[in-house]
Amino acid sequence: MSESLSSNAIIYAILSLNSEITLQKDYLDSSDVSKAERDNEEGILEDLEQAFMEFVNCYKSYRHEDSSLPEIGELLTTEL
């Protein structure tokens, strides 16, 4: 992909990943995860968190260029 991502695409990715992280944590906290699945599911959570941080870092550079974008904390706490 040679085109750069738009700030909206990054925002949607951040919000989606944030929601998926919450769901994955809830799943891991439930009794639905067998011991055999736990390692795999924890690895999925780690991957989600890493992707989230990479998009947050990307967003920070976009926000540095465009101060009209909301702060990351505001973005994550505002209901859609």
Give the tens place of pLDDT for each residue, 13-46. 999 999 999 999 999 999 999 988 999 999 999 9
Identify whether 48 is part of a domain. yes
Please give the Cα distance from 9 to 5 (Å, whole number). Answer: 6
Average pLDDT, the chain: 91
pLDDT at 5: 84
pLDDT at 78: 77
Residue 28 inside a domain? The answer is yes
Angle formed at CA 25 by CA 19 and CA 31, multiple of 5 degrees: 135
The answer to whether position 2 is within a domain reads no
1, part of any domain: no
What is the span of the domain harbouring residue 70? 7-77
Report the number of distinct structural domains present in the chain: 1
Asked if residues 32 and 67 have their Cβ atoms less than 8 Å apart, the reply is no
Q: What is the pLDDT of residue 4?
A: 80
pLDDT at 80: 58
